[in-house]
Structure 1
Amino acid sequence: MQAAAQLSSGSPKSRRTTEKGGNPYALAEDVALLAALPIAAAIIEQSDTEGFVATASNQRFSDLVTRTSAAAFAWDKGCRVPSEGPFTLLLYEFFSGINPTGELDFIDGDGVSAHYFRVKLAPLPRMASGKLRCLLSVVDRTVEVQAERALRAEMLRDSLTGLPNRLSFTESIESLEGVHDDEIEHAVLVVDMLRFSRINESMGTLAGDELLITFARRLILTLRAGDILARTGGNEFGVLVSLRRGVEDALKAAERIQEVMTTPFKISDLEIRVDCAVGVALMQPGQDPEELFRSAQFAVKQAKQAGKPQVYEPREASAARRRFSIETELRRALDKDQLRLFYQPLIDLKTGKVSGFEALARWTHEDRGEISPNEFIPVAEESGLILQLGRWAMHKASQTLADWDSKIGQQLPLYVGVNLSAIQVARDDIAGMVSSALKSSGISGDRLTLELTESSIVQDPGRATRVFDALKALDATVAMDDFGTGYSSLAYLQRLPIDVLKIDRSFVSGMMVDPDSVAIVRAVLSLADALGMSTTAEGIETVELATTLAALGCSSGQGYYFAKPLEAEAALEYWASRNRG
């Protein structure tokens, strides 16, 4: 490159020699152009016989060529570009129009001492001889690249614990996609610190941060060579482990994690015991890293319920996805009024006549067909849609009873029972909802029976008492549904204004074969009689059950022996046929 250096200092008055005359010389205007540029630059000309030649360069370019060892600048002393290599290919593509941007990055050196450069080409007017030429400039990007790397390293690091963060953890999983080893598998463990929010709220964020740092240090103690630990959320950590014995190794890693957490943490002169839930997901070939991580998170939820580490099971996830799908479809069905109320007759066991009906929600999906209430009611409660569903059922049942009165031409001696969930009692204005339904339908409160489970009382006895009192103020009847299956205290029966005890079907169905079931039913009936309550037996399937319950003094019953839940019109016809005469 000595010739290039000599050209850069040539006189503006110098002129190019003829093409037959060996080495080219710089034109005065080229030298002036290069001298004005603040970066390393040279002018490259395409030669018929010598390929590509640098006809002029500035001092910065000469200094760069002198100190760099990069192969891109392995030019001979005649300033000729090598006949092969990436730089030569770039020039060919640039002059031929294949690569009009004309850019090439290259590195000089290794490790921390490496320098990063970018070569750019720009077209120049042709020579009078028609030869093509371009301006080559070299930008030193070392500082820029180092800054980008520092910024990226900061982006991939958790500032509190110094561990890799969620993004870095995902990239670590992605890096395994091209690694194939029949003996080694991989798994992701998600570790969730339990009760962290309570600790954070009671002791303050500084103590919470200290706990997170200490927790992370203990997790590091459980790692083996090659394992990767990251903080993937507020109180959530991810561990990428290699497995030689499949799921057994993953579960042992989870056991190690739980074992190191058994020793209490000392935070601000307090000893705190911290439990954790661990979910495991085994990596499958071609699996998306985010999907793998979400699978481990799903396993964590199961681990919290089970109280021990859990391995992700696709079937469980499929059921969860179905529940989520049902939630979406149920919301749409409620908005479009696609659910229906069916009515199951409640029979007076002494007279055999219909005394009322229990309103039951039914859902026939246009694609999935009949969806059981045992499936969509829990989804409604979990998602909060039970509030909308409950209000719809209350208004629909009240209006149906009013429609029956209108059709017969008189007020019927009937009541309708409507179920209330514990979620409604806890979160909704029950009295306001019932009052609105009564007002819009025009029926009186004594024709509604509100059925509540024991769980709605146990969760918040004070609120349940207020709800019961408000319902009684509307003259509504209050029934405790599924009595005997919950955990209610007998004191509630004495203190709360409950009118009816409904005996759960699990006791009724076993009466003919299980003496204990008979004893329980007898006890419930005696208790109700002592407290001045009436009783309703659920799940009466045979005439023997109906006769036995009537003999024991049960007030009313319902079940398939009498009738299945009926649509509104069929229910009215059933009442008319049963109560005729």
Structure 2
Amino acid sequence: MSDLWESNAVESGAAFQEEVRRIVEGAETLIRDSLGAAEVVLIPRASSKHGDVHVLRQVQSSQLEEAATRFLDDYLIQRATGTSIPTVRTMPYPVDGRHGSDQIICRILLDGDYSVCGCLAVRMQEADAATAPHKARLDAISVMVSTMLKAVTTSFELEIELIAAQRRSARLELQTRTDPLTGAQTLGAFEREVRKRLQDSADACALILFEVENLKNVNDLFGYQFGNSYLGLVAGALSAALPDTAIVGRLAGDQFGALVELPERYNSYLGDVLSRCRDSILRSTATLGRPNLGRTSAGAATYPNDAVDYDTLFELAEGALHVSKSGGRGLSTVFAPGMDRRPNPREITRRFNAALSANQIRPYFQPVHNLVTGDCTGFEVLARWEDPDRGVLMPDDFIPILNDPENAERLTQKLTGSALKALADLGPSRAKDLTLAINVTSFDLMNREFAFELQSHLSEIHGLSWSQIIIEVTEKIMLGAAEGQVFRTLEELRRRGARVALDDFGTGYGGLRHLSGWPVDILKIDRHFIGRMLDSEIDRAIVESILHLSESSDLTVIAEGIETPEQLRALQSMNCAKGQGHLFAAALPASGLADSLRTIDFDMLNSRDDW
């Protein structure tokens, strides 16, 4: 990493230092609170190696900091020479040249590849330092911090590598390949690179076409200089939202294209990419201070599922773009066979409005169970569209609805009112101890009236209280400023008695920061870690770390996606309190709520041999 760190990528280096500083501060605070430590010092390896510890930590050097730096340097030297050295050292804390009653625990942080991420030093009272629970908790936190440091370091290493590669490129080549207005590739360069990628790689990818809406009107109203700045912001927002490996080009005056690599199962991933692009463009263009900017239509087709050559792939993506443009404003469409026969987004919106009136869009309920007693403790509310012609539709089947602020808020209000009524219909004695988790969008939380609208639902339904409401948000929703409207809405909901759950926790390195600064009461462990924890030591360690953190931070943990008795037994052995998944029950309509309240016999469940 030395060459990268010493490069001239000042902006990326500053951003890296800031992110590492946040992780360091958050980790130190959690360790102090959970272990009762007198002092905590976390030294990332990059900061120690390059001599800028104080720049990152923003404090004066202390005895504990010196001990951590010395232990880290000794470990690196001994490791380089092949000498075996322990990764943990306990020593007395010096006071006025003598040994005091406190103990220093220095621990080397290693990632999954056994690369050194840094050193953690904790000063504790001698009695506490020797206890097994404190050691186990410190081990768990160390694994979590190592994972997060590795993630942020890898991310910025790749970013700096890209910057360095760009700087090595010849100026003439950049001029011929790059559109000077937006910085995206020219049409010719984009086409050549995409054709080569399709020819050389068998990996799945998606060709996405973006069209900026009403660019001519923007130029007419505000002038071409403003229009050029507008296009530059759009291109920058696209590049920021897309993966580093994406190929981005400007194909026409108001049209951009991107080739994005896809994972093996990419249906939801492609939808997430399109959503990120849309949100990034809206945020960037909002800084221009003009109304109705940032609307883009998008169409996508996939290789090799839809087409195996560039020309056909482009044609299909163009057809999907046409469907988006004809369906309304700011829509995204992914090509599907027989698209000319399937409803376009405008038709989906029309059907959505009719379905709301006909009560065809209903809440389904995923039970959450206590993993000790087997009791049902509550439900997560999920959206299902019971279409008479097409059966039960999942949210992925009506993405255009969720991408529109007005329709997304209407959907949340409909589901919330129906779900609260279904819970109340169980009767006061059965419903009073059950919780209801409501998934909300950023549109809901940006609405200043959201808390009052939820209060209105509760006022209309007797027997339920704010303490039974759980507001589920994703980490992406929490990425804004702590003083923003989303933060204020969550604070208001908690003030009234609701709790906030951070969904899919562990999938992003910003999660630890959110625990320190955002109103969070519940962590939901992502099903990805639950599904792999029996085969991956790293995934199991992450699950254990989250559980240890919850114990010390007074947070509730719910494990998502429990599918097998083996996963259940593993979570029970880790003292995980709650869980949900198809092992217990799939999402069910309101008519099945009463039957789902039965207590699960874990002994019988674990003895089944038909899994």
Q: Which TM-score band applies after superposition, normalised by the shorter structure? A: 0.3 to 0.5
Structure showing greater relative contact order (alpha-carbon pairs closer than 8 Å, 6 or more residues apart): 2
Specify the structure having the higher radius of gyration (Cα): 1
| Higher helix residue share | 2
User: Structure 2 length as normaliser, TM-score?
Assistant: 0.44
User: Structure 1 length as normaliser, TM-score?
Assistant: 0.46
